[in-house]
Amino acid sequence: MAKHRTLAFWSIIFLIIAIPLTVYLAITRQFIFKGAVAGQVTVNLISATSQPNLLQEFTVEVHLNSGTLQVSGATVNVNYDPNLLMLTKVDPEVTAVTASAPFTDLVSPPNDMPFTLVAQKAANQLSTGSFKIATLTFLPVESGAGTIEVDPTGSSVVVNNGTSTDVTATAVKGTSVAHTVTQQLCRVEACTSSVVLQHQLRPDNATFNIDVSWSAVSTQTPAVYKVFHNIGSAVPADHPLQYLAGTTINSSFRDTRGGIGFQKQSTVYYDVDTYIACP
């Protein structure tokens, strides 16, 4: 009799543990399932030119190769040297532009990097194989050589595995784009006049960004502006590169000091030089 009571006791203990565990697994199954990895998708970059002209835009296409996997979403991050290139535009392949496009929506800010696309489609309408997902437009702003390449750690692809349309696949770096600009920049104006500063408080309420604007002085286009700053004293007259805050084709620039901002008590001095491509 004691043996039967012991077995009954342990049976009850087993049910007390097993039932909540079964319910928990049932509830969390979808999250475990979404975290699964279903194969690999290669992200390739393709460009028609490897020697773009200084201050003349060129394009780079972004392609996915998913094999038989049906793609329902993608986030792509691309690395490049911002001292050599400016990203001026991201044109996504979405149905609002092309009816047969692989994606329906761009869900990240326009012309931003990384960019994210989603396909709100039935599974049998999702794209497979090799297909274009976006066209990136770059502007060379300095002479030199560099490479535009996919950042696999900052990229991800979501696919349909036959059961669910939101299973993660590994994004793999495919082809890259090497570029060389041999033309040189010529400075046509140093210390551009009429520089106006506007302070913009950052979300931490302790630091601020500075919006810098100026009057364009060159009638020659296209032109590029190099913005130099220094904290506490004027920028040295020869404008060493270590004082370069950024480069822009616009007559305005938001200085975030590399993303950390300026302290409220800081006094910041600016100079702006104007450049064009040398004849």
Cβ distance 69 to 131 under 8 Å?
A: no
Q: How much is the pTM?
A: 0.78
Q: Which of 224, 138, 168, 171 is nearest to 63 (CA)?
A: 171
Q: What are the CA-CA distances from residue 188 to residues 14, 81, 253 (Å)? A: 83, 24, 19
What fold is seen in the domain 38-181?
A: Immunoglobulin-like (2.60.40)
For the chain, report the end-to-end CA distance as a whole number of angstroms: 104
The CATH code for residues 185-277 is 2.60.40
Sequence spans of domains, the chain: 38-181, 185-277
Where residue 18 falls (left for φ over 0; alpha for ψ -120 to 50; beta otherwise) is alpha
pLDDT digits (tens, 9 = 90+) for 9-26: 445 544 444 444 333 333
Q: 110-169 pLDDT, tens per residue?
A: 999 999 999 999 999 999 999 999 999 999 999 999 999 999 999 999 999 777 768 999
Domains 38-181 and 185-277 fall in the same CATH topology: yes
* C-beta separation of 169 from 159 below 8 A: yes
For residue range 54-87, list pLDDT tens digits in order.
999 999 999 999 999 999 999 999 999 998 999 9
Question: Degrees (nearest 5) of the Cα angle 202, 197, 247?
Answer: 85
User: Which pLDDT value is given to residue 138?
Assistant: 97
* pLDDT band per the 50, 70, 90 thresholds, residue 37: low
